[in-house]
Amino acid sequence: MTIFNFRTARPVEYYRKYLEQDVRPDGRDLGEFRRTVLNIGCVTTADGSALVKLGNTTVMCGIKAELCKPKTETPKCGFIVPNVELSPLCSPYFRSGPPGEQAQVMSQFMLEVVNHSKCVDLESLCITQGKLVWVLYCDLLCLDYDGNVTDACVLALLAALKNVCLPTISINEETENPETDLTKRVPLPISSQPVSSTYAIFDDNILFVDPTAEEENLATGIITIVTTDDKLCLVHKPGGSPLRPEQLTNCFDRSFDRSKEISRLIDETIHSIDR
Amino acid sequence: MAGLNLLSDQGFRIDGRKPNELRRIQCKLGVFKQADGSAYIEQGNTKVLATVYGPHEIRGSRAKLLLDRVLVNCQYSMATFSTGERKRRPRGDRKSQEMTMHLKQTFDAAIMTNLYPRSQIDIFVEVLQSDGGNYCASVNAATLALIDAGIPMKDFVCACSASFVNDNPIADINYLEESSGGPELIVATLPKSDQIVFLEQNSRLHEDNLSKVIDLAVKSCKDVYTVLDRTVRDHVSEVSNSHGWDH
Amino acid sequence: MREMTCELGQLTRCDGDACLIQGETCVATAVYGPTEVRMNKEILDKATVEVVYKSKVGLPGCAEKMFERIIRNTCETTILTTAHPRSGINIIIQEMQNSGSYLACCINSACLALLDAGVSLKFLVAAVTCLINKEGDIILDPNSKQEKDGKALLTFVFNNKDFNIVTVNTKGSYSSRQFKDCTSLCKTSSKQVFEFYKNLWKSC
């Protein structure tokens, strides 16, 4: 039986053979992410945009700002509305039509990341209290699905938010209508950096980071950890193989390292655009 | 749009192009791994992505199965952030449905459909940034994606738009020129056999001028073909070099 | 922890059900299965577990979908799915009253309903919620008033085989030190929940 056939017929066995040597079939260590490529500000029609490639996985985030009325309970808060789209364009697993369960769960996850990390102060989106606030529609398009879309989405969203420049709005006192000054644009203040890292559990006890689509299918569980600077912000393990607390602690350490890597990557990218 | 001078006295257009000049085309094949074929194209500020899956067995309702040829399934969608105003729905509105239909008709005519009876080919097109000529860029991107997927076609399909301003036909119009209310003519051709597979015209244009505009559009399609053909050849030689094949 | 009471077998048409009350929080769960499953959802070597979550008012949105998925994946881990290939196990969870530690109550009630239905399980699970308030103190099993003023909310699910973590879901920001403290506190408290399960079955 050739290697290729072995991989198709007995995928779990094939992975075990590699993992015995602490390496994965694509040559990565257990704690190694795929090459991450970031491109900021690639769509000029959007108010903020970013493209992330994590290995083959590709996600594009475009942010459009609109004006709207705030909720009466929170007259000073604007809105951030993330929406993840997993269309049949990115993988044959997805069907056209209304968003599937995974896309809905991803959208909710992104909303929780924004809310719990407090990366954008919603009050900074306020223009006139109780009357006019910004709503940021963050549309995340998956263009190529090769596993771990969560991490790619969180990075794309963060990079796109950092790219957002909102036009200044002044209220005409006579007509009480908002007037937009497109020439004076202000960058959106970002107060913290949420960074996500996803781990797959293989054979109930081996953990490896940044799973590909193939690895996700073989995994017996998935954990996603979102950190903001030196704090944990979200630990999400929906079922799957039970883990010992020490195993989780190891994941936290890796996640904090990743957080530093990502903030370096974003800084470098923004710097290279400025020049 | 009154007061907007689409063609200056010196004979230049708003963005500085000559009447028969195309916008810069940049394209790339095989950008994604999951799809069987994929391509990305930039025509000026219009950026379009196309992926192709198939030929594979019929998905969804089997009623769509065709006994003698392949079913070409298209989906045209525009990212919500692709236009100046945010789009509420990326697909499913009338305009996108019309576009989907047109793409399907165009590629039904170009793909050798009789080779794969009882199967299906999916063409997904996503407009990431729009600045006029969405249909043309979509067709050109889809052609490249189909070639990348290795699906047999009669010829490339190349599309280009044209308009008519101040007694002058102009090629490859952008959003501003498109929305100024002048005539808009869209052509998709099979450049080698000089056949037109799709032609659409909006707004009023005098009969005497029609042939001039069509001629320019067809000629522009040939120019597009030159660019696409070179991209494909470069891509193939790059791939074969990386595999160490002699050619 | 707040007081727990549970009523089993209140519903007649389902295979197993539980109505769990934890403090003021109350959840009713019904289990159908193993039964036949729709063709396209059939899995050849194991059972398909489906969870439907019904909130008191409103249409289900993205938040409910995520909630469903957490509960479904947890139950899927618990159930010996390979014992019932090509069949379906449906779990329906109805919100009765949400007064804090809600996810934990839903998971516990699902586990009890599965037990009541006699579905073969790999192990039992117990969910415990704790809260880190603004002063940095940890409050076990918070009510909704405490949840509102909290800084972070953490829900853990442990199994009764080796007390490892099956599910974690957290909200808000905290340090990894605090996470560790919460884990060990919830782990201890999960034993109380298992004790409650045991007494409940003895009294039946």
Q: Is C127 within 8 Å of C155 (Cβ atoms)? A: yes
State yes or no: pLDDT of A186 exceeds 80: yes
| pLDDT above 90 coverage of chain A, percent | 79
State yes or no: pLDDT of B3 exceeds 80: no
Q: Answer yes or no: do A62 and B130 touch at CB < 8 A.
A: no
| pLDDT above 70 coverage of chain A, percent | 99
Task: Name the average pLDDT for chain A.
Answer: 92
C-alpha span between A273 and C88 (Å, rounded): 54
Residues of A in contact with B31 (CB under 8 A): 144
- For the sheet containing A194-202, what is the strand order? A206-209, A194-202, A221-228, A231-237, C165-172, C152-159, C125-132, C138-140
Q: Answer yes or no: do A89 and B35 touch at CB < 8 A.
A: yes
For residue B183, whether the previous peptide bond is cis, meaning omega lies within 30 degrees of 0, is: no
Residues A82-101, mean pLDDT to the nearest whole number: 91
* Touching subunits for chain B (3+ Cβ pairs under 8 A): A
Q: Which of A56, A91, A139 sits opposite B79 (nearest CB)?
A: A139
pLDDT tens figures, A139-157: 999 999 999 999 999 999 9
Residue B60 lies in a domain: yes
Nearest chain A CA: its distance from C64 CA (Å):
9
Nearest chain A CA: its distance from B196 CA (Å):
28
Residue B13 lies in a domain: no
Residue B20 lies in a domain: no
Q: Which of B35, B82, B90 sits opposite A45 (nearest CB)?
A: B82
pLDDT at A174: 79
State yes or no: pLDDT of B195 exceeds 90: yes
Residue B203 lies in a domain: yes
Residue B9 lies in a domain: no
pLDDT tens figures, A204-219: 889 999 999 999 999 9
CATH number reported for the structural domain that contains residue B78 in this entry: 3.30.230.70
User: Computed over its alpha carbons, how large is the radius of gyration of chain B?
Assistant: 18
Residue B225 touches chain A, beta carbons under 8 Å: no
For residue B55, whether the previous peptide bond is cis, meaning omega lies within 30 degrees of 0, is: yes
**Ordered domains of chain A (ranges, CATH):** 38-274 (3.30.230.70)
pLDDT at C204: 80
C-alpha span between B129 and B141 (Å, rounded): 14
pLDDT tens figures, A242-268: 999 999 999 999 999 999 999 999 999
C-alpha span between C79 and C62 (Å, rounded): 25
How does residue B4 score in pLDDT terms, banded at 50, 70 and 90?
low
Whole-angstrom CA distances from C186 to B90, C165, C181 are: 45, 10, 9
The H or E element that residue C23 is part of is none
pLDDT at C111: 96
Pick out chain C residues at pLDDT < 70.
none
Q: Answer yes or no: do A116 and C172 touch at CB < 8 A.
A: yes
How does residue B63 score in pLDDT terms, banded at 50, 70 and 90?
confident
Q: Is C118 exposed, middle or buried (0-12, 13-18, 19+ CB in 10 A)?
A: exposed
Residues of A in contact with C184 (CB under 8 A): 245
Q: Do chains B and C touch (3 or more CB pairs under 8 A)?
A: no
Count contacts between A and C (CB, < 8 Å).
98
State yes or no: pLDDT of B246 exceeds 80: no
Residue A138 touches chain B, beta carbons under 8 Å: no
Identity of the amino acid at A184: K
- The domain containing residue B98 runs over which residues? 25-243
Q: Is B50 within 8 Å of B145 (Cβ atoms)? A: yes
Q: Answer yes or no: do A249 and C170 touch at CB < 8 A.
A: no
Q: Answer yes or no: do A232 and C173 touch at CB < 8 A.
A: yes
Q: Answer yes or no: do B81 and A56 touch at CB < 8 A.
A: no
Residues A128-135, mean pLDDT to the nearest whole number: 90
Identity of the amino acid at B132: G
Whole-angstrom CA distances from B180 to B1, B165, C19, C99, C199 are: 5, 10, 66, 60, 79
pLDDT tens figures, B83-113: 988 888 888 889 999 999 999 999 999 999 9
Q: Is B188 within 8 Å of B196 (Cβ atoms)? A: yes
Residue C29 touches chain A, beta carbons under 8 Å: no
**Ordered domains of chain C (ranges, CATH):** 4-203 (3.30.230.70)
Residues B218-229, mean pLDDT to the nearest whole number: 96
Q: Answer yes or no: do A104 and C172 touch at CB < 8 A.
A: no
Q: Which residue of C has its CA nearest to A228?
A: C173
Q: Answer yes or no: do B82 and A44 touch at CB < 8 A.
A: no
Task: Name the average pLDDT for chain B.
Answer: 92
Residues of A in contact with C183 (CB under 8 A): 245, 248
Q: Which residue of A has its CA nearest to B37?
A: A89
Residue A134 touches chain B, beta carbons under 8 Å: no
Ranges assigned E (strand) in chain B? 25-29, 37-43, 46-57, 71-78, 119-129, 158-165, 168-171, 184-190, 195-202
Global pTM reads 0.94
* DSSP-derived secondary structure letter, B86: P
Residue C45 touches chain A, beta carbons under 8 Å: no
pLDDT at A273: 82
In residues, how long is chain C? 204
* DSSP-derived secondary structure letter, B21: P
A175-179, B95-99, B150-154, B233-237: segment of lowest average pLDDT: A175-179
C-alpha span between A270 and A272 (Å, rounded): 5
Overall number of domains in chain B: 1
Residue B19 lies in a domain: no
Q: Answer yes or no: do C171 and A232 touch at CB < 8 A.
A: no
The helix/strand/coil state of C173 is coil
Q: Answer yes or no: do C167 and A237 touch at CB < 8 A.
A: yes
State yes or no: pLDDT of A100 exceeds 50: yes
Residue A135 touches chain B, beta carbons under 8 Å: no
Structure-model confidence comparison of residues C2 and B137, the more confident one: B137
pLDDT at B47: 96
Region class of A175: left (phi > 0), else alpha (psi between -120 and 50), else beta: alpha
pLDDT at C107: 96
Residue B183 lies in a domain: yes
Structure-model confidence comparison of residues A176 and B155, the more confident one: B155
pLDDT at A173: 79
Q: What are phi and psi of B211, to 5 degrees?
A: -65, -35
Q: Answer yes or no: do A235 and C169 touch at CB < 8 A.
A: yes
Residues of C in contact with A235 (CB under 8 A): 154, 168-170, 179
Residues B137-149, mean pLDDT to the nearest whole number: 97
State yes or no: pLDDT of A35 exceeds 90: yes
Residue B244 touches chain A, beta carbons under 8 Å: no
Assigned token pair, B185: 């003519």
pLDDT at B1: 44
Nearest chain A CA: its distance from C8 CA (Å):
25
Which positions 26-45 of A are in contact with B (Cβ < 8 Å)?
A: 43-45
Residue B5 lies in a domain: no
Residues of A in contact with B45 (CB under 8 A): 44
